Every structure is written in C-alpha cells, then in structure tokens.
C-alpha cells in the first residue's frame, strides 16, 4: 500500500522501532458481511498512532477485537513482542497484556469523588479493618499531579470541566502503570463530546504524555485534531488497510481522500431528483436547543431532505424538536404556512407530522404486543368509533399495511418481537405512513437493517415523497443520504455548514464535506446559546 517512502529513514528519538501492538491478517465476518479483510495495525512503542476510517470501515471492530469484546475469525497479535492467541483472547487477556481503553462514554461515576472513582477501579486500600483513605488520597493526588490535573481528589467528577473528566478517566485507566509493565492507552473517540477548545486542552496533555514515553492509539473522526497530535496513521477502508503512514505529516485532504476512496454501494440513487415542486411545506429559522446552535432551512412538497454530520452535530436533536419531544430554546417554525410550535408529540401528530425514531428497540417497539396493536397505537383516538375499538378493522388495516410495505411476518396477530429488525422497521414506518403525514421525519431509518429490507424502505420513502409528503432523513450513512435525498444539509457542531443538491457530489464528496469540519462562521448570537 502507499507506505510513506521517507518513513523508514526517519528514526525519531522518542518513538522507537519496537512495536507496542502488532496485528496482522485480521479477518472478521458479521452475518455474511466482511467487516475486516486481512487488516493489520502496527503501533510503535512511545508513539501516538491514529486509526482512521469512515463508518463501517472496520476500525471499531478492530478496537473491539483488541479489547477482547469480539472474537476474531483469524489473525495474529503481538503486544510488546509477546505473541497472543486470538482464539483464546478475552477482556482480561487484554488487561494483562497492558491495553487500557478509554471510551467515548468515560465510565466515570459522576456523583462520586475522583479518589473513589480511582478506588472503585483498583480496589480500596485497606488499613486494619477500615479503608486507608489517607493513603488513597496521597496516591491519587500524586497521579493527578503527574497528569497535569490541578484538582482536589475529593471533588466529585461532575464538578470538573469536560476535558479534565476525560483526563481523569485516562489517569484512572493507567493508574497501575509502573516500570514493570508498560501500558498502551487506547482512546476511542475521545473528543466526540468535547467542544473545540476543550479537545485542544485534552490533546495537548495527551501529546505530552506521549513525549514522556506513553504509547497512545487514538480512534477519531476529527481529522484536524488527530493531525495535530499523531506521529503515525493507519487508514482503513472497507475492512482493509488503505494506507499506513509512519512518522508522516499528511494534510487533511490527503487523509480524506484515503478514507473516502471508491466505496462499494449496494444502493444507488434513482436519478430522478426533480420530484419536488417548490411549494414550501415546512420551514424553520433560528432553531436552537441542546447541541443545535441556530439552524434555518425549508423543506418543500415531495422533497427528501437529508441531514447529516458527525456524532453530536445535532441531527437527532433537530428532529426531536420538530416532533415536539423537546422544546427548542428559541426559533420559529412554520408548517403549511401557519406557525407551528408543538407542545408535545400529540400536537405534532395532529398537525400532520410523523417521526420514526433512531433507536427502534427502545423508542418505537412494543415487543410483547402484536403487529396489529403496534400499528394501531398511532391511530387509537381516530379509530375509536361509537365507544368501541374496532378490532376487526384494525386487523384488516394491518393486513393491508403488511402487504403494502412488504413485511415478512406470520400474520397480523404475530408478535412484534417475532420479526427481524428490517421487518420491525417496516412496521414502524407503516405505523406512521397510515396517518398520511404532511411532514415525515426519519432518524437513521435503515440502521441495523438488511439490504433487502433497506431497498423496500427506500421504496416506501420515495413513494411517500411522490405522494406529496415532505421528508427529512437524518442519517450518518452517507451512502443512504446520497441514494435517497434530493438535497442534503451538512451539520457541524450544531450549525449548517453546507447545502448540497443531489447529483452535485458523490458519496466521497459528501464524506469529505462531513469530515472537513468547516469552522462555522460564528453567528453574532453565539453568546446567548
């Protein structure tokens, strides 16, 4: 692959040539899909190594194999020169080998003090029959000083600033490191929750730990931040290594090109993008709330509008505010020319809005109820006639919808839980489409759905738009956005940074827009956010 030609000669002083982690020929299949295909990862001891790749490139799978969470199908693993059998590799093997993980969710107990968070991990030091609080406090204070944290060990985690919280999690993960055991710190999306200046603070300190000899492996979407701290880069694409850059300083654009590449697309856009006429159905201006910091847009009749961006960019929050689940802090919305400000989900539904939520299992499924009941729940009051629930008619409606949406199920009385994920999602979609909504909100509509069901779902979404419904699709899957949307808004840290019409950019173009993290122009109203 494109090994940096000058890399071999560069024998920098700090990171040596010994490998801390050396994984080769890694294979992993998930239900017939190849997540990793002869992948490898070589992390030099004492270096900061960035593992990069788009969604589904296999980087998270590799990290989970290293953590012992997933078993690998095949592959060889050496850690600090010691070979490990991947067939018998468990989380405790990873622990013994010296791997320490800090995930996006830090796993800290927010209400407990720093020292207790340390002790819960390493065990409380004992003195006689009690706890040696003094000894614990001294040890934790020493560690905090070492990790440049100027905080009281007795302070609760919740009182720390976000970057300090991450640093505490790092110090806790590495608390048992000593001369006898060198450890490898794996940071999984460490800055996803942090604002720009907070991530800078954090990464500077990580950089200084590396200069002191700490080996660090970072997985991140934020290329610019990674560029600032990393020595080496491994870039994955479609489960293979697309590039390995050792002691290199690539540009952001080079990395994006390596990450996006030519990805295989199972589903292509239909090509007819002119379905939308220019009648605005819904528009919003100055929408703020949660991570959303001032968003304006309009959706037209028959238009499928895409919303995409990195995690935390505010995709889902926008949909939740549109559906009345959360009240926006400020902003005005218009639906069909009339002001629209739903107080709750019921009001949004009465106004003709429907939403398929992101988390199907927790937010849209009534697992122990039948398909008929699952469908009827969105139309209970509408169905209630002469004081009775028409069970027969509900069942007939369910039969019609099952046929129309191509749901594979034993019958209308089968339990919701008896269906596969794709078919459950079709039922959730049918639940809303039977209400003939004016505005349809879809949050990750095909997450965890097989390819055939995905094609059926796309067909239903296009049919809804063709019938005059305005559709907003929030998705992190750019293949989906590209295949489905007439127009796409790119969100970055709560603002719209790009507005892309279908046909002007391919998936790679969209990927680079999302990854580029444009510095959004600071609106003058920033202070009130």
Partner 1 sequence: MTDTQAPPSTATVSIPVKQTPAPLRLLENYALPLLTVLVYIFFSFFPLSAAAFPTVNNLNVILGSQAVIALIAIAALFPLISGYFDFSLGAIAVMAQVMTAGLMSLYGLPLWLSIVISMLLGTLVGVLNGYFVTKLQMSPFVTTLGMSMLLAGLMTWFTGGKTFVSGIDPALIKFGSTRIAGIPLVFFITLIVAAIAWYFFSHTPFGRSLYAIGSNATAAKLVGLPVTKNVWWSFIVAGFIAGGAGVLQLSRVGSASASDGGTLLFPALAAVFLGATAIRPGFFNVWGTIIGAVFVSVSVSGLALSGASGWASNVFNGLALLAAVALSTYLGRRKRRG
Name the residues that contact partner 1, by CB under 8 A: 323, 325, 344-346, 348-349, 355, 357, 362-369, 373, 376-378, 380-381, 384, 387-389, 402-403, 405-410, 414-418, 431, 452-453, 455-456, 459, 463, 466-467
Parallel, antiparallel or unpaired: strands 126-127 and 99-102: unpaired
Give burial (CB, 10 Å; 0-12/13-18/19+) of 87: exposed
Minimum Å gap between C-beta 273 and partner 1 is 14
53 versus 437: smaller Cβ distance to partner 1: 437
127 versus 408: smaller Cβ distance to partner 1: 408
- Residues 415 and 444: beta-carbon distance below 8 Å: no
109 versus 366: smaller Cβ distance to partner 1: 366
Rg (CA), the chain: 26
* Residue 385 DSSP class: B
Minimum Å gap between C-beta 173 and partner 1 is 32
Parallel, antiparallel or unpaired: strands 470-474 and 33-44: unpaired
Minimum Å gap between C-beta 8 and partner 1 is 53
Residue at token pair 């989380």: 91
219 versus 465: smaller Cβ distance to partner 1: 465
408 versus 518: smaller Cβ distance to partner 1: 408
Per-residue HEC secondary structure of 402-444 comes to HHHCCCCCCCCCCEHHHCCHHHHHHHHHHHHHCCCCCEEEEEC
85 phi, psi to nearest 5 deg:
-85, 115
In sequence order, what are the residues at sequence separation of 6 or more whose Cβ sits closer than 8 angstroms to the Cβ of residue 517? 222, 223, 224, 310, 492, 493
Minimum Å gap between C-beta 35 and partner 1 is 25
In sequence order, what are the residues at sequence separation of 6 or more whose Cβ sits closer than 8 angstroms to the Cβ of residue 120? 109, 112
Minimum Å gap between C-beta 43 and partner 1 is 41
Query: From CA 422, how far away is CA 413, in angstroms rounded?
Result: 18
What six digits make up the tokens of 276? 């939308």
Minimum Å gap between C-beta 187 and partner 1 is 31
Minimum Å gap between C-beta 320 and partner 1 is 9
In three-state secondary structure terms, 463 is helix
127 versus 393: smaller Cβ distance to partner 1: 393
What six digits make up the tokens of 473? 């699709």
Residue 60: closest CA among 37, 43, 36, 79: 36
253 versus 272: smaller Cβ distance to partner 1: 272
187 versus 449: smaller Cβ distance to partner 1: 449
281 versus 464: smaller Cβ distance to partner 1: 464
What six digits make up the tokens of 168? 């505490």
Minimum Å gap between C-beta 460 and partner 1 is 8
Query: From CA 86, how far away is CA 421, in angstroms rounded?
Result: 31
19-30 β-sheet, strand order:
33-44, 19-30, 74-79, 82-84
Minimum Å gap between C-beta 400 and partner 1 is 11
In sequence order, what are the residues at sequence separation of 6 or more whose Cβ sits closer than 8 angstroms to the Cβ of residue 49? 43, 215, 216, 217, 218, 230, 231, 232, 233, 234
Query: From CA 449, how far away is CA 423, in angstroms rounded?
Result: 8
Residue at token pair 């008896």: 418
Minimum Å gap between C-beta 377 and partner 1 is 5
158 versus 417: smaller Cβ distance to partner 1: 417
* Residue 86 DSSP class: G
105 versus 413: smaller Cβ distance to partner 1: 413
446 versus 453: smaller Cβ distance to partner 1: 453
327 versus 410: smaller Cβ distance to partner 1: 410
DSSP bridge pairs for 96? none
Minimum Å gap between C-beta 352 and partner 1 is 12
Query: From CA 172, how far away is CA 291, in angstroms rounded?
Result: 29
In sequence order, what are the residues at sequence separation of 6 or more whose Cβ sits closer than 8 angstroms to the Cβ of residue 293? 314, 493, 494, 495, 523, 526, 529
In sequence order, what are the residues at sequence separation of 6 or more whose Cβ sits closer than 8 angstroms to the Cβ of residue 200? 225
Minimum Å gap between C-beta 315 and partner 1 is 17
Minimum Å gap between C-beta 502 and partner 1 is 17
């Amino acid at each position: 692959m494109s090994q940096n030609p000058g890399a071999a000669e560069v024998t920098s002083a700090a990171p040596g040539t010994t490998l801390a982690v050396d994984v080769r020929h890694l294979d992993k299949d998930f239900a017939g899909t190849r997540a990793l295909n002869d992948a490898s990862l070589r992390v030099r001891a004492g270096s900061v190594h960035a593992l990069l790749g788009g969604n589904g490139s296999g980087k998270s799978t590799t990290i989970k194999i290293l953590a012992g969470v997933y078993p690998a199908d095949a592959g060889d693993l050496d850690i600090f020169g010691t070979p490990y059998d991947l067939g018998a590799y468990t989380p405790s093997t990873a622990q013994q080998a010296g791997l320490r993980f800090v995930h996006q969710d830090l796993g800290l107990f927010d209400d407990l003090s720093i020292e207790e968070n340390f002790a819960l991990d390493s065990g409380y030091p004992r003195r006689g029959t009690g706890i040696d609080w003094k000894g614990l406090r001294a040890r934790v204070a020493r560690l905090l000083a070492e990790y440049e944290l100027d905080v009281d060990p007795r302070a609760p985690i919740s009182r720390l600033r976000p970057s300090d919280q991450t640093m505490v999690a790092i110090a806790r993960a590495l608390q048992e490191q000593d001369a006898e055991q060198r450890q490898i710190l794996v940071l999984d999306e460490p800055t996803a929750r942090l604002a720009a200046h907070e991530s800078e603070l954090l990464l500077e300190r990580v950089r200084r730990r590396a200069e002191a000899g700490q080996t660090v492996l970072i997985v991140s979407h934020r290329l610019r931040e990674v560029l600032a701290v990393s020595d080496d880069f491994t870039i994955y694409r479609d489960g293979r290594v697309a590039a390995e850059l050792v002691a290199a300083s690539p540009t952001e654009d080079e990395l994006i090109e390596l990450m996006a590449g030519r990805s295989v697309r199972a589903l292509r856009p239909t090509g007819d993008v002119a379905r939308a006429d220019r009648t605005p159905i819904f528009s919003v201006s100055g929408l703020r709330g949660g991570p959303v910091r001032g968003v304006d847009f309009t959706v037209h009749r028959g238009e499928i509008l895409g919303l995409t961006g990195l995690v935390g960019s505010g995709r889902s929050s926008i949909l939740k505010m549109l559906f009345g689940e959360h009240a926006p802090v400020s902003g005005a919305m218009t639906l069909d020319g009339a002001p629209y400000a739903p107080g709750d989900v019921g009001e949004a539904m009465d106004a003709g809005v429907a939403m398929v939520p992101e988390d199907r299992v927790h937010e849209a499924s009534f697992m122990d109820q039948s398909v008929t009941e699952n469908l009827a729940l969105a139309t209970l009051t509408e169905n209630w006639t002469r004081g009775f629930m028409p069970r027969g008619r509900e069942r007939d409606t369910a039969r019609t919808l099952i046929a129309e949406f191509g749901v594979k199920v034993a019958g209308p009385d089968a339990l919701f839980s008896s269906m596969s994920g794709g078919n459950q999602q079709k039922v959730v979609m049918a639940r809303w489409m039977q209400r003939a909504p004016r505005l349809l909100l879809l949050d990750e509509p095909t997450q965890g759905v097989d390819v055939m069901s995905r094609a059926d779902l796309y067909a239903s979404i296009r049919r809804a738009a063709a019938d005059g419904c305005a559709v907003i699709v929030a998705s992190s899957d750019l293949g989906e956005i590209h295949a489905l949307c007439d127009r796409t808004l790119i969100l970055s840290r709560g603002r719209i940074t790009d507005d892309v019409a279908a046909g002007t950019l391919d998936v790679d173009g969209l990927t680079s827009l999302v990854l580029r993290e444009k510095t959004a122009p600071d609106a003058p109203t920033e202070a009130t956010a």
